[in-house]
Amino acid sequence: MGATLEDALAVALTAHRGQLYPAPTPEPFVLHPLRVMLGVTSPGAQIAALLHDVVEDSDLTLSELADMGFDPLVIDAVDRLTRRAGEDYEAYIDRVASHPVAREVKLSDLADNLANSRALPTTPETRARIDRYERARRRLLAKPDPTMAPDVATPDIRLARAADGRELARLRWEFAAEGRDDVATLAEFEPEVLSFLGPALDSGLWGIFVASAGDRLVGTISVHLIDRAPRPVPTHRWKGYVTSAYVEPAFRNLGIGRSLLDAVIGWARDRGAGSIIVWPTERSVPFYRRAGFDNTQALELRPPR
């Protein structure tokens, strides 16, 4: 039997003993890899997350990790996550992006470092660090996941299940991370999705669809049925609100987004929705127009900033 998650935790505790993480109130450094571990899902990534700084920040070597019995995939991920002396940061991120486990861990690592950096006093150094982390996150999200072949001609489009909660949380987090710099960590966000998903599916008012490639979800979209107030004219009871449309970058322009959209439109129509609305981003307007959406006269009141 190879080295386990508990073994990785023991290694991290020893390697980072006495080190401090630069939080607003400095804390034991080992709390950082623990948070990174909570932000990933695959077993190999969880082990690599605990070990991701041990070679760079201690005297441990990759050979010693191999001698301890850690899986070669984990050791390779730790190698990718260890920045070489004098290595350009963008070249380092590109090296991380080419390894599936390292990519997953680095996205969680960046989320934790960003959350911490935003809590620190604003200085030129802190702002520069935040900008660098943001660029790295966008670069990783724009790179195809190397485990996924983008040749899925007929993805499996289906209704979501409660068991999809963690994967849906990841997709929703990636969607938010593409366009904002104030996202919570995946570990913080995931419980919200898990508590929402079950009741939403049971309500019959949410049509949450996913696109799956193997065991991984690569896209999602939802439609929420809104009950309209009674009117003394012929009308439909329900209005559908399309939301949360996202396809991973490696799987875009393959028809997956349109298949997802067609699925929620059909689901809403089958349940009596008279109209279906969406608040698109500027970039997505052509996509919705091709599906038959058009401008309507509507006013929207947004909460004050």
Same domain, 120 and 229: no
- List the CATH number of the domain containing 32: 1.10.3210.10
pLDDT tens digits, one per residue of 225-269:
998 877 786 667 788 999 999 988 777 777 889 999 999 999 999
Helix (H) or strand (E) holding 240: strand 238-247
Q: Alpha carbon of 213 to those of 98, 151, 216: distances in Å?
A: 19, 10, 5
Count of domains for the chain = 2
- Among residues 142, 165, 196, which one ends one of the domains? 142
| Residues 196-221: tens digit of each pLDDT | 999 999 999 999 999 987 778 889 99
Query: What domain range is 13 assigned to?
Result: 5-142
Q: How far is CA 39 from the centre of its chain?
A: 9
Q: Are residues 135 and 176 in the same domain?
A: no
**Please, are residues 82 and 55 in contact by the beta-carbon 8 Å criterion?**
yes
Residue 298 dihedral angles phi and psi, to the nearest 5°: -150, 150
- Based on the fold, state whether residues 121 and 91 are members of the same structural domain: yes
Contact 112, 155 (CB under 8 A): no
Q: Is residue 297 domain-resident?
A: no
Contact 13, 51 (CB under 8 A): no
Scanning the structure block, which residue is given the tokens 């960590």?
185
The amino acid that residue 257 corresponds to is: G
Distance of alpha carbon 236 from alpha carbon 150, whole angstroms: 40
Same domain, 202 and 276: yes
State the amino acid at position 131 in one-letter form. D
- 171-205: pLDDT as tens digits: 998 888 776 667 788 888 899 999 999 999 999 99
Same domain, 134 and 216: no
